[in-house]
Amino acid sequence: MGTIQEKSNKWTSQMEEPLELCITGLVPTELYTLVLERRAVTKASIIKRKSEAVFRADQLGNVDLSTSELVSGSYEGTEPMGLFWSMEITEKSENKGEHYERLVPHQFDLSVWHEDTEVASRSLTKIWHGKEIKVIPVETGQLIGNYYVQEDSKPRPTVIVVSGSEGGINDFYASILAGYGFHTFAVAYFGVEGLSETLTEIPLEIIEQAIAWLSEREDVKQDWLAIHGVSRGGEVALWSAVLFDKIKAAVSLNGSAISFAGIVPWTDTLALPPAWTYRGEALPYASPVNPVETARHCKSLYLKGENGVGIWYDALYEDGVDKATIPIEETNKAYLLIMGEEDATFDIKRYNARMTKETIRQNVYQGAGHEIGVPHIPIWANKFTGGTKRATYRASVDSLQATVAFLRESAGVNQDETGEPLWSKRK
């Protein structure tokens, strides 16, 4: 019988924390299959995922996921966390009443097989944040979100975090950044009760209200706020840095420095609504005029199960780019634009190439698609998102570290003062 070990004995770990898994006590030179499984509950579905990796035990009867050569499996190459980000859906059924919790810990079952015999098994847990972080729900008029605050409540640099076109509250990235010593405020701008149901004509006063709410808190470092946005939320982040003096830095993850129209069905309607407004006026966007022929083509592709989204945004870009560029170059704020070179949703590298000011950092990841984000979670890398799983995963790992370093530098936080991620101090 074999034994599954984690070199630091971390069987419960932060979501983005890497693990060092190895199996000992195996028959030397024999082939073994590692199987990782997880059952997930969403509001609508019960989803089962699975990944596999085949290794040959070394002369001592060991398999080390950090160094052993992969024979075959759900991923390629030597990837210590490959079993996690390569997981595929094996079964999906309707959720008929099982409780859904947004930041529930992810429970995994890891088993080791020799031919048809299970020789070892172990459960692992990945959590979104630890006990040192408190979550304060906020619902004041149009301001709806969750505030992640360090247990010590000391004044710290604070980051507003917004979602993309999926809407709702981006608790996921907010909880991750909180693990690096920031306070974070995950704010919804549509897709929750009390706000717009669609990404159209969103008043950026919502972000202004978030800033005002944070300004009243003693645990917020008042001379510096930042904002982080994903995909279309990247536009929110960049516009907020332009519009609001208290925002000193902005991160756009998989987002564009071109402001696009609101998201509506592809139709023959001649006009498109804005995505964003401020003080009752539409912020410039590409494009108020609907490229009808392109809309018809994209709808046709959609009905065939194909991806027309990139074609759609390219058409909007061509029609209105000169007027719709978010004027971040006219500010003295700090910006980080993160993008995958093989993004199938936006041609972000092309759109963001217009930004040349040295205060605007651009991290372009070769081979990565639109799913750059939280490390170690499953990646699709399909025709709708683009890129490869491996490149997108590596971009997620690197871009998180780049984001933390960028925010710390902008906030003027001494590295010794903040130290390593909070998970590195857990026992």
320-379: pLDDT as tens digits: 888 999 999 999 999 999 999 999 999 999 999 999 999 999 999 999 999 999 999 999
pLDDT (mean) for 1-12:
95
Domain covering 133-415 in this structure, CATH number: 3.40.50.1820
Q: Which residue has the tokens 């094996």?
A: 90
Pairing relationship of beta strands 117-127 and 70-73 according to DSSP bridges: unpaired
In the chain, the amino acid numbered 168 is: G
**Distance, first Cα to last Cα, the chain:** 28
Sequence ranges of the chain with CATH classification 3.40.50.1820: 133-415
User: Looking at the domain 3-127, which fold is it?
Assistant: Immunoglobulin-like (2.60.40)
**pLDDT tens per residue across span 257-292:** 999 999 999 999 999 999 999 999 999 999 999 999
pLDDT of residue 311: 97
CB atoms within 10 A of CB 69: 10
pTM over cut 0.75: yes
Q: Is the pLDDT of residue 240 over 60?
A: yes
DSSP class per residue in 263-325: -----S-SB--BSEEETTEEPP-B-SB--HHHHHHHHHHHHTT---HHHHHHHHHHHHHHHHB
Sequence ranges of the chain with CATH classification 2.60.40.2240: 3-127
**pLDDT tens per residue across span 397-423:** 999 999 999 999 999 986 545 556 766
**pLDDT tens per residue across span 356-371:** 999 999 999 999 999 9
